């Protein structure tokens, strides 16, 4: 940190002595963990007037989880060492004068969800993976080599085009829809698969589910069964009811889309099969069920505070990919705790995204996904506009976050009637009573500041007016900061102070809920 201070000439009143200890005199703009020896886990130098290249001394901050260098005047290229900082989860380089191309390792981490990378606001920075590095003009005294360079460049360009054409053709052969039509007295069979090695018919679906032996769920699209492929892969087989299909065209289009949408925090569609009146979607099997089940008072295994924050981050990463990583963006339309599933490692993944447009059943009492969403999670603006958009998903996510914080469902039912979770929690927030807000089953095992931060993030998601809600990428950024604070605190601050030291401003948020949730 002394090297960083010297490189940029940072002048701050308390940047003296050890950056982390004593804790009451730790340097502003950074956070430390105190589990064993003090380590810097978060560094925020946003809007600090930094100029020049990104300092190599930053690479020595190996415990940093979050690094914010945004809104400065940093120039030069994005150094590769930023992709190799072992603890890095959040990197904000937006609003600078960086140029050149972003290292492929950073782009890969952003794509797989392991790094929240912000690089907007650098007009000369190439953010794609097909950047052409600008060459320094080459001259040789007395000899003109421009014609030679031009010829070589042309050959390279044509060669590259040929290679790209071959690669693209192979991708089309492997990924494109393969449809087989078999005429019979009963109708036709259509099967879409990802590769030539996969092929599911109705008979094979019956086989992998052991004649539909184990039902693991039921929703608006039909029953869900446990299955096992020949190679031992466990799957969830969703058999679609006839009433839930709008038609083959819609089904075909939507399934094609879902099979090419891949992210670590989205449940993967492995295959689908349509044979006469039997249609099946085959998903990866999620061993630990859904979040709603884990938050239930009947579940003896209580999710820890850090687990809840990580689930929120996982879900936000999946949603951020749907909103900003897909072209066109995918709006979930029915985001809720039953649609957030957990694998064997308790990693959260969003399910049933992209289905609402192709599969609709307005008369199904067990409806899982529909354009109007689910009571308790539905965007209040839907009742006036009739439209759902990305900010509608953000509202639903805010309700989910409150469920994770409080342990209560979206609609709290009691002998006196039903209460929406926002109606229940708002008076407690106004009183600053965090002790009554956070799930009592945690027995105070959480950091006060982290809990309040989570409450504030949730509140920012649920204003009645969509324009007041943040984008999901901002929510994700703040959640990662929240988890960083929890990790860095060493859980040193517990329930001894149930009141927030500074007032929580409620007046700036126009919070309301849909009438159906009252």
pLDDT (tens digit per residue) in 49-104: 899 999 999 998 988 988 989 889 999 999 999 999 988 888 989 889 999 999 98
- The angle formed by the CA atoms of residues 426, 431 and 433, to the nearest 5 degrees, is 90
Does 315 share its domain with 243?
A: no
Does 512 share its domain with 475?
A: yes
- Please report whether residue 149 resides in a domain: no
pLDDT (tens digit per residue) in 111-166: 888 888 888 888 889 876 566 544 334 334 444 455 566 666 666 766 666 666 55
- Please report whether residue 171 resides in a domain: no
- State the DSSP string of 124-153: EEE-SS-PPPPPPPP-BTTB--HHHHHHHH
Does 193 share its domain with 339?
A: no
Does 276 share its domain with 319?
A: no
When mean pLDDT is compared across 9-18, 108-117, 475-484, the lowest value belongs to: 9-18
- Please report whether residue 493 resides in a domain: yes
- Please report whether residue 133 resides in a domain: no
- Please report whether residue 420 resides in a domain: yes
Of 236, 255, 284, the one marking the end of a domain is 284
- For residue 493, the domain's CATH number is 1.10.510.10
Does 264 share its domain with 295?
A: no
- Please report whether residue 154 resides in a domain: no
Going by pLDDT thresholds of 50, 70 and 90, the confidence category of residue 370 is very low
Q: Is the pLDDT of residue 333 over 60?
A: yes
- Please report whether residue 150 resides in a domain: no
> What pLDDT does 110 receive?
85
Does 337 share its domain with 473?
A: yes
Catalytic residues: 334
Q: Is the pLDDT of residue 230 over 60?
A: yes
Does 266 share its domain with 305?
A: no
Structure tokens at 270: 């492995």
- Give the range of the structural domain holding residue 256, as residue numbers without chain letter: 189-284
CA atoms within 13 A on the CB side of 92: 22
Does 352 share its domain with 209?
A: no
Does 391 share its domain with 414?
A: yes
What would the mean pLDDT of 264-270 be, rounded to a whole number? 91
- For residue 228, the domain's CATH number is 3.30.200.20
Q: Is the pLDDT of residue 179 over 70?
A: no
Q: Is the pLDDT of residue 195 over 80?
A: no
- For residue 60, the domain's CATH number is 3.80.10.10
Does 62 share its domain with 81?
A: yes
Does 95 share its domain with 200?
A: no
Higher pLDDT, 204 or 144: 204
Does 246 share its domain with 277?
A: yes
**Alpha-carbon span 302 to 236, nearest angstrom:** 25
Torsion on CA atoms 307, 325, 192, 334, rounded to nearest 10 = 60
Q: Is the pLDDT of residue 278 over 80?
A: no
Q: Are 97 and 74 in contact (CB under 8 A)?
A: yes
- State the total domains in the chain: 3
């Amino acid at each position: 940190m002394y090297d960083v201070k010297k490189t940029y000439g940072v002048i701050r009143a308390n940047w003296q002595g050890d950056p982390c200890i004593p804790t009451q005199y730790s340097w502003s703009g950074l956070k430390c963990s105190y589990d064993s020896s003090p380590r810097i886990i978060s560094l925020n130098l946003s809007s600090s007037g930094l100029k020049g290249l990104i300092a190599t001394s930053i690479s020595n901050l190996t415990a940093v989880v979050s690094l914010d260098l945004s809104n400065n005047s940093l120039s030069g290229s994005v150094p590769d060492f930023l992709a190799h900082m072992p603890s890095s989860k959040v990197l904000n380089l937006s609003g600078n004068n960086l140029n050149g191309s972003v290292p492929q390792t950073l782009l890969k981490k952003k794509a797989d969800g392991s790094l929240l990378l912000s690089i907007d606001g650098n007009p000369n920075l190439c953010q794609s993976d097909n950047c052409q590095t600008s060459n320094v003009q080459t001259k040789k005294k007395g000899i003109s080599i421009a014609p030679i360079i031009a010829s070589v460049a042309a050959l390279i360009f044509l060669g590259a085009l040929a290679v790209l054409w071959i690669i693209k053709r192979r991708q089309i052969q492997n990924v494109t829809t393969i449809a087989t039509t078999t005429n019979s007295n009963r109708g036709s069979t259509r099967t879409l698969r990802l590769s030539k090695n996969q092929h599911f018919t109705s008979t094979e679906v019956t086989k992998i589910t052991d004649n539909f032996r184990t039902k693991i769920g039921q929703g608006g699209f039909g029953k869900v069964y446990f299955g096992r492929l020949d190679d031992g892969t466990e799957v969830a087989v969703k058999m679609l009811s006839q009433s839930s299909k709008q038609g083959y065209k819609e089904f075909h289009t939507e399934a094609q889309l879902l099979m090419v949408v891949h992210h670590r925090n989205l449940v993967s569609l492995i295959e689908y099969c349509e044979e006469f009146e039997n249609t099946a979607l085959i998903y990866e099997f999620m061993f630990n069920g859904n979040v709603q089940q884990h938050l239930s008072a009947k579940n003896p295994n209580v999710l820890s505070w850090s687990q809840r924050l990580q689930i929120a981050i996982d879900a936000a990463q999946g949603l951020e990919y749907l909103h900003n990583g897909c072209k066109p963006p995918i709006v979930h339309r029915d985001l809720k705790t039953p649609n957030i599933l957990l694998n064997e490692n308790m990693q959260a993944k969003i399910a049933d995204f992209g289905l609402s447009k192709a599969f609709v059943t307005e008369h199904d009492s067990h409806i899982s996904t529909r354009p109007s969403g689910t009571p308790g999670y539905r965007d209040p603006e839907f009742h006036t506009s009739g439209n759902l958009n990305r900010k509608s998903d953000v509202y639903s996510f805010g309700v989910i976050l409150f469920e994770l914080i409080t342990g209560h469902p979206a609609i709290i039912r009691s002998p006196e009637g039903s209460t929406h979770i926002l109606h229940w929690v708002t008076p407690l927030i106004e009183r600053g009573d965090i002790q009554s807000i956070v799930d009592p089953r945690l027995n105070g095992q959480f950091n006060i500041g982290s809990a309040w931060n989570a409450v504030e993030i949730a509140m920012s998601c649920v204003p009645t007016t969509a324009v007041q809600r943040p984008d999901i990428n901002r929510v994700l950024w703040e959640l990662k900061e929240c988890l960083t604070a929890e990790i860095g605190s060493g859980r040193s601050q517990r329930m001894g102070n149930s009141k927030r030291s500074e007032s929580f401003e409620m007046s700036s948020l126009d919070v309301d809920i849909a009438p159906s949730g009252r």
